Amino acid sequence: MSLLQNPLLYLILLPVVGAVLVMAGFDARRTSIAAAALNFLLSLYVACSTPLKAGFQWVSSVPVVPDLGLNFTLGADGLSVAMLVLATVVTLAAVCVARTPENHASWFYVSLLFISAGAIGAFASVDAFFFYMFHELALIPTFLLIGIWGSGNRQAAAWKITVYLAFGSFVLLIGIIGLYLSMPANSRTFDMGLIAEAARTGALTPSWIVYLLLFVGFGILVSLFPFHTWAPQAYASAPAPAAMLHAGVLKKFGLYGILRLVTPVFPAHIVEPLNNILLVLLVGNILYVGLVTIAQRKLDLMLGYSSVMHMGYIFLGILSWNSLGLTGAALMLVAHGLSIAALFALSGEIRERTGTLEFRDLGGLARVMPKFGLLFGFAAMASLGLPGFANFAGELMVFFGAFSSGHATLTSFFGFTNFQIATFVAVWGVVISAVYMLRAYRRVFFGPVPERWKSLPEITPVAKYCVIGLLLLLLIVGFYPQLLVNYVFQP
């Protein structure tokens, strides 16, 4: 397929064109919404017309450095299509709920659109090199969004996320180069499909160092414990749309990358010796970060930590290395993206109204704005994995997948494998999420109403419909997970 006829190219270019128009002086908000809406429709078209389980579709390739086998290759299979739809949905919601700031309004929307373009570009790339490049595109807009329009300790948060992620991406880049160099000299390529193919045929012989580099690189980007400290503070300080895009879409880049570049490539004899360490880390994600989440006194920080915590489940699914766990992880990618976006949108709305997200300053908001409370309740339930929402389906598959994984080797304990032990521990995470979510819900929405919040306005129609849209998607997938599983199934 020629590049110019490829809808994926236009998926990437639409936000960029929108950004250019905004910079050229068009009305920032309307142009951005139009670009995001068009992009959403286009992604739906792509989703409906992509044949499933047939490898990469819509492939078009332009050589960039032929000597190095470096091509700009677009393409999408079921998983990437699911991520693309997630990206465009969250972008549309984020741009819609955004409050136009007073200073540099056009830069605000330009930054949002660039984050979106970066994420979409990453998910639409088949070439590992451009996959990486597109992700980095989002780094500077995030820096500007948090630094200029953030709240709280925005400067520290902006520096931390930017330098930390720059470090992580560089580790990742070296990992990708390492993977590339593990192939025989005459057939080196960055094409993710060909890399997986080479691993199947045995032409690719990666070392465990490459595995570690990739896992640490991706791990930093996904806030794997103990590399998670950049995330909560950044999400707490970021303006709501930026937090939605980053936590909802961009952070999924790392996990998506693992599903593309790590799981299909590395053989068991490299993966297994390191499994125990990684299991400890992800249990750290679930238990340690979960307990830290309970201790939070601010809604935005709590949401930031909870999003870090949920990454633990997805990691567990990925590490299980079997079809059930991987599919569950992929399902959770989408589900978590939608639910955290809804939560950040709502917490941003609260901050707009009250100027504070401290639990001790809030209370009884459900009595003042009942619809708001209802929606927040739904989003909170979705996030903690109530049956009926997509998150539940994902978590269930992850737990089943993980429990059935692992060998009863010397590392086993009372006949249980390392994975079964990790699953025992991880299941308690569900309880922890219930504790912090319900506590937060009670502190913010129930109890006596402080005098100064008595006249808060009800949720705006735009925000209402955005959140309802996100929740509807979660419910649809929750009641009929097969719809999404068809797309994200990992053989």
Partner 1 sequence: MIVPYFLEGFVVILGIVLLMTDAFSKIDKNIVAWTAVVWLGLIFAATFFLAPLPEAWADSGFYVLDSYSLFFKRFLLLATILTLILSIDYGSVFLRYVPSAAPQAGLGEFFTLPVFACAGLMWMVSSADFIMIFVSLELVTISFYVLVASMRNNLSSLEAGVKYLILGALSTGFLVYGITWVFGLTNQTSLLKLADVLPLVQEGYHSAVLFGLGLIIVALGFKIAAVPFQFWVPDVYQGAPTPITAYLSVASKAAGFVVLLRVLGPFLEVPFFRDKIIGIFTILAAVTLILGNLAALPQSNLKRLLAYSSVAHAGYLLVGVASITGSALAADAIAFYLGGYLVMTFLSFFVLVNVSKVMGGDDIVNFNGLARRSPILAGAMLLSMLSLAGMPFTIGFFGKFFIFQSAMESRQYLLVVIGFVTVACGFYYYLKVVRAMYWQPAPEGSSPIVVTVSGKLLIGILSFAIIFFGIFPQPILNLLR
> Which spans of this chain sit near partner 1 (rule: CB under 8 A)?
63-68, 72, 104, 107, 132-134, 136-137, 139-140, 143-144, 147-148, 155, 159, 162-164, 166-167, 170-171, 173-174, 177-178, 180-181
Indicate the residue among 154 and 251 with the shorter CB distance to partner 1.
154
Give the residue with the Cβ less far from partner 1, 256 or 487: 256
Minimum distance between the CB of residue 215 and partner 1, rounded to whole angstroms? 15
Three-state SS string over the chain comes to: CCHHHCHHHHHHHHHHHHHHHHHCCCCHHHHHHHHHHHHHHHHHHHHHCCCCCCCCEEEEEEEEEHHHCEEEEEEECHHHHHHHHHHHHHHHHHHHHCCCCCCCHHHHHHHHHHHHHHHHHHHHECEHHHHHHHHHHCHHHHHHHHHHHCCCCHHHHHHHHHHHHHHHHHHHHHHHHHHHHCCCHHHCCCEHHHHHHHHHHCCCCCCHHHHHHHHHHHHHHCCCCCCCCHHHHHHHHCCHHHHHHHHHHHCHHHHHHHHHHHCCCCCHHHHHHHHHHHHHHHHHHHHHHHHHHHCCCEHHHHHHHHHHHHHHHHHHHHHCCCHHHHHHHHHHHHHHHHHHHHHHHHHHHHHHHHCCCEHHHCCCHHHHCHHHHHHHHHHHHHHCCCCCCHHHHHHHHHHHHHHCCCCCCCCCECCECHHHHHHHHHHHHHHHHHHHHHHHHHHHHCCCCCHHHCCCCCCCHHHHHHHHHHHHHHHHHHHCCHHHHHHHCCC
User: Residue 65 or 268: which CB sits closer to partner 1?
Assistant: 65
Task: Provide, rounded to whole angstroms, the least separation between the CB of residue 155 and partner 1.
Answer: 8
Taking the complex as a whole, how short is the minimal distance between the CB of residue 446 and partner 1, in angstroms?
A: 39
Query: Which of 207/276 has CB closer to partner 1?
Result: 207
- Which CB atom, from 253 or from 378, has the smaller least distance to partner 1? 253
Q: Report in angstroms how near the CB of residue 33 gets to partner 1 at its nearest.
A: 23
Query: Please, which residue, 134 or 453, has the CB nearer to partner 1?
Result: 134
**What is the smallest separation between the CB atom of 133 and partner 1, expressed in angstroms?**
4
We find the least distance from the C-beta atom of residue 205 to partner 1, in angstroms, to be 15
The least distance separating partner 1 from the CB of residue 87, rounded to whole angstroms, comes to: 18
Query: Which residue number, 62 or 408, has a Cβ lying nearer to partner 1?
Result: 62
